[in-house]
Structure 1
Amino acid sequence: MRKTDTRQDNREVIAELKQKDSHFANIFDEHTQLDEKINQLEKDVVQHASRDEEIEHMKRRKLYLKDEIYKAIEKNKLQSLS
């Protein structure tokens, strides 16, 4: 049993929200950019070591954005049921 739905599970809802909600589109894009940057920095051992604090800050921001994204998805699902 999974705790949260994956991005794949919510693909249609995400696409809909990105089109109709500019705030959602912005936080989704920021989350994606942070994910890419974190992955890139973690692959570069030299940069990773010198930027640990920055990476941790990015990870906290990414987690916050993920929570906001899933709140919006759940809200949209509930509104769809009404």
Structure 2
Amino acid sequence: MIIDRHSLAKELPEFKEKIHELKMNDRHFARLFDDYHNLDHEVIRIEEGVENTSDDYLESLKKQRLHLKDQLYSILKSAS
């Protein structure tokens, strides 16, 4: 099974430069970005079978990741 990584730069390529800028200059954005990255990493580990968990837990992580992505997107749109 191929695991699809959801890096923010891959998910929102049109904001690649803005993502970098905000990571360096906006602590709130940087924290959300780190949370997103860590959550994505955890989802990948579960999907790869490195960690075992319930399907419900995995789905809740994916929903959290989506919520963070929405927050980050909103900040990126406002900053552009």
TM-score interval for Structure 1 and Structure 2 normalised by the shorter chain? 0.7 to 0.9
TM-score by length of 1: 0.76
In structure 2, runs of 5+ residues without a counterpart are: 1-9
> Which of these residues, 6, 17, 21, is aligned with residue 22 of structure 2?
17
After TM superposition, what 4+ stretches of structure 1 lie above 2 angstroms from structure 2? Answer: 5-9
Aligned to 1:44, what secondary structure does the other structure show?
A: coil
Residue equivalent to 2:48: 43
Q: Gaps (5+ residues) in structure 1? A: 78-82
Paired position in structure 1 for 2:34: 29
The 1-side partners of 2:44 and 2:67 are apart by 17
Q: Secondary structure at the match of 2:56?
A: helix
* More helix per residue: 1
- In the alignment, which of 61, 73, 76 is matched to residue 70 of structure 1? 73
Q: 1:6 to 1:57 in 2, by over 3 A?
A: closer
RMSD: 2.0
Residues paired across the two proteins, number: 71
What is the aligned-residue identity percentage? 32
Query: TM-score, normalising length from structure 2?
Result: 0.77
Which structure has the bigger radius of gyration? 1
- Secondary structure of the 2:13 match is coil
